[in-house]
A and B are shown apart, each in its own frame.
Chain A
Amino acid sequence: MSDIVLDVRNLRVEFPTRKGVLTAVDDISLTIRRGEILGMVGESGAGKSMTGMAILGLLEPPGRIAAGSIHLSGDRIDNLSDREMQQVRGRRIGAIFQDPLTSLNPLFRVGDQLVETIRLHTDLTKAQARERAKDLMREVGIPAVEERIDNYPHQFSGGMRQRIVIALALCAEPELIVADEPTTALDVSIQAQITALLKRLCRERGTAVMLVTHDMGVIAETADRVAVMYAGRLAEVGAVEDVVRRPRHPYTAGLMGSIPSLRSDVEELQMIPGAMPRLDAIPSGCAFNPRCAHAGPKCRRDIPRVEGTQAAACWLATEGAVA
Chain B
Amino acid sequence: MKIRPNAILEVDGLERRFDVSAPWLNRVLERKPRRTLRAVDGVDFIIQRGQTLALVGESGCGKSTIARLVTGLHAPSGGSVKFHGDRDRMQMIFQDPFASLNPRWRVGRIIAEPLRTLRPDTPDAVVAARVDELLRTVGLSPSDGQKFPHEFSGGQRQRISIARALAGEPEFLVCDEPTSALDVSVQAQVLNLMKRLQKEMDLTYLFISHDLSVVRHMADVIAVMYLGRIVEIQPTKDLFANPLHPYTRLLLDTIPDLEAPKRDRTPMGGEVPSPVSPPSGCSFHPRCPLAFDRCKVERPQRRAEVHNRRVACFACETGAAATGLKETADV
Contacts and interface: CB of A to CB of B under 8 A. Distances in A.
Q: Are A and B genuine complex partners?
A: yes
Interface of A: 43-44, 157, 159-160, 187-193, 195-196, 199, 214-218, 220-221, 224, 240-241, 244-245, 254-263, 266-272, 275
Contacts of A263: 259
A14 B185 CA distance: 26
Contacts of B258: 216-217, 220, 244, 256, 259, 261-262
A61 to B, nearest CB: 25
Contact of B256 (A187, A220, A260, A269): A220
A193 B256 CA distance: 12
Contact of A254 (B185, B212, B254): B185
A215 B255 CA distance: 11
B261 A260 contact: no
Nearest to B183: A43
Nearest to B262: A240
Given A188-B58, A192-B256, 16 more contacts: A43-B185, A187-B58, A189-B271, A193-B267, A195-B256, A196-B266, A199-B264, A221-B262, A259-B184, A259-B213, A259-B258, A260-B188, A260-B214, A268-B192, A269-B192, A271-B189
Contacts of A214: 183-184
A217 B183 contact: no
B185 A217 contact: no
B139 to A, nearest CB: 10
Given A187-B272, A220-B256, A220-B257, A255 B184 contact: yes
19 contacts: A43-B186, A189-B251, A189-B271, A191-B254, A192-B256, A192-B265, A214-B183, A220-B262, A255-B185, A258-B184, A259-B258, A260-B214, A261-B258, A262-B212, A262-B259, A266-B217, A271-B185, A275-B153, A275-B186
A141 to B, nearest CB: 9
Interface residues of B, number: 43
A259 B186 CA distance: 10
A157 B58 CA distance: 14
B153 A192 contact: no
Contacts of A266: 217
A262 B239 CA distance: 12
B214 A262 contact: no
B257 A188 contact: no
A245 B256 contact: no
Contacts, number: 126
Nearest to A185: B59
Given A192-B267, A221-B261, A216 B184 contact: yes
Contact of B188 (A187, A217, A245, A271): A271
Contacts of B58: 187-190
Contact of B59 (A187, A259, A275): A187
B184 A220 contact: no
A240 B261 CA distance: 7
Contacts of B263: 221
Contacts of B213: 259-262
Interface in B139-197: 153-155, 183-189, 191-192, 195
A261 B188 contact: no
Tell which of A160, A189, A192, A220 has the most Cβ of chain B within 10 Å. A189
A235 to B, nearest CB: 13
B89 interface: no
Nearest to B179: A260
Contacts of B271: 157, 159-160, 189-190
Contacts of A157: 271
Contact of A189 (B192, B195, B268): B268
A188 B255 contact: yes
Contact of B216 (A160, A199, A262): A262
A244 B188 contact: no
Contact of B191 (A188, A217, A241, A269): A269
A17 B95 CA distance: 32
A262 B185 contact: no
